[in-house]
């Protein structure tokens, strides 16, 4: 199981509104079926998991996350038909159990996507639907500069999960086909996030990609890292206000026969 627990639900939710659009774009790819059994892999604090269950009129909802902080926060949304469980979505598999396997902005943290997607596909019942969204923005300065600064401050910096793990849209299409899905929709979408200023990018990535440096650098080292990162980012991108943060994401949906 992943032991890293650098997630901070409050920091992550600072940009909840901008982050929610891809979630709903993904949810809207799911075809309506009566009372589906739904699992949300990498469910985070469970707020959106509960809303997803309501939108799909789910008969049951399971939220899975490897972060104790997130699972503890999600407990507020648990009820008779909605449960949250601490587990690693990279190895998670419950054969023929769900009508919808949903994963928004979580698969990127897992290595070996062909293997993980095979386990997720196996967890679907006949006719079940898979819906997955991953960021694909590793080539943007916000991510490239993080890796550069980390290499200056650490001898063995933790890698960028998106750069390491995320595949191309066409590769996902091929994987889904190989897993026997009879229908699929895979697309790359650019989200144009209008931020108040370039500096807001720092707050954005502090809730996601930079969390990986917290453990390695410690509290004081991380603060130093963030300030060096901010200076470098403003230098390269320019201190703009407002700033349009273009963010590429891959959305995929597929249905079993
Ligand atoms: C970017 S957040 C997305 C949360 C939620 N799906 C949403 O759309 O708001 C990624 C979540 O994936 C979880 N996560 C990362 N790696 C994981 C793993 N190997 N197993 C389970 N959860 C994982 C994190 O703890 C975090 O809650």
State the Cα–Cα distance between residues 107 and 104, nearest whole angstrom.
8
131 domain residue, yes or no = yes
Cβ contact 130:181 at 8 Å: yes
Give 57 Cα–ligand 1 centroid separation in angstroms. 23
Containing structural domain, residue 250:
9-137+165-195+246-255
Pick out the chain residues at pLDDT < 70. 1-9, 11-13
The tokens for 249 are: 């994401």
Q: Specify the residue with its C-alpha closest to ligand 1, atom 9.
A: 44
205 domain residue, yes or no = no
CB of 39 shorter than 6 A to ligand 1 = no
| Dihedral sign, Cα of residue 49, residue 102, residue 39, residue 127 | positive
Q: What confidence tens digit (pLDDT) does each residue in 202-216 have? A: 999 998 889 889 989
Pocket test for ligand 1, best of 5, 66, 74, 107 (most atoms within 8 A of CB): 66
Give 44 Cα–ligand 1 centroid separation in angstroms. 5
- pLDDT for position 207: 86
Cβ contact 121:257 at 8 Å: no
Q: Total structural domains in the chain?
A: 1
CB of 44 shorter than 6 A to ligand 1 = yes
- pLDDT for position 165: 97
239 domain residue, yes or no = no
- pLDDT for position 17: 80
Query: What radius of gyration, in Å, describes the C-alpha atoms of the chain?
Result: 18
CB of 65 shorter than 6 A to ligand 1 = yes
CB of 109 shorter than 6 A to ligand 1 = yes
Domain containing 189 — which CATH number? 3.40.50.150
- pLDDT for position 215: 86
232 domain residue, yes or no = no
Give 65 Cα–ligand 1 centroid separation in angstroms. 6
For the chain, percent helix, then strand, then coil, each to nearest 5?
45, 25, 30
93 domain residue, yes or no = yes
Give 238 Cα–ligand 1 centroid separation in angstroms. 31
- pLDDT for position 1: 40
Cβ contacts of 51 within 8 Å, gap of 6 or more = none
- pLDDT for position 2: 40
Give 42 Cα–ligand 1 centroid separation in angstroms. 3
Pocket test for ligand 1, best of 44, 50, 104 (most atoms within 8 A of CB): 44
Q: What confidence tens digit (pLDDT) does each residue in 170-179 have? A: 999 999 999 9
48 domain residue, yes or no = yes
32 domain residue, yes or no = yes
241 domain residue, yes or no = no
């Amino acid at each position: 199981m992943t032991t890293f627990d650098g997630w901070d639900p409050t920091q992550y939710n600072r940009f909840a509104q901008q982050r929610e659009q891809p979630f709903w774009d993904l949810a809207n790819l799911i075809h309506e079926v009566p009372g589906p059994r739904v699992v949300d892999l990498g469910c985070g604090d469970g707020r959106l998991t509960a809303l997803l269950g309501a939108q799909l009129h789910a008969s049951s909802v399971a939220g899975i996350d490897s972060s104790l902080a997130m699972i503890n926060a999600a407990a507020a949304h648990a009820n008779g038909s909605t449960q949250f469980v601490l587990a690693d979505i990279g190895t998670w598999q419950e054969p023929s159990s769900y009508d919808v396997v949903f994963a928004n902005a979580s698969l990127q943290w897992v290595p070996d996507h062909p293997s993980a997607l095979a386990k997720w596909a196996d967890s679907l019942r006949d006719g079940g639907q898979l819906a997955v969204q991953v960021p694909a923005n590793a080539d943007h300065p916000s991510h490239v500069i993080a890796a550069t600064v980390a290499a200056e401050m650490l001898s063995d910096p933790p890698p960028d999960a998106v750069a390491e793990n995320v595949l191309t849209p066409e590769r996902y299409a091929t994987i889904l086909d190989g897993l026997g899905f009879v229908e699929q929709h895979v697309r790359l979408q650019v989200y144009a996030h209008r931020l108040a200023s370039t500096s807001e990018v720092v707050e954005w990535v502090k809730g996601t990609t930079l969390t990986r440096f917290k453990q390695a650098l410690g509290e004081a080292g991380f603060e130093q890292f963030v300030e060096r990162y901010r200076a470098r980012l403003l230098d390269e991108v320019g201190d703009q206000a407002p700033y349009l943060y273009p963010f590429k994401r891959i959305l995929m949906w597929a249905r079993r026969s």
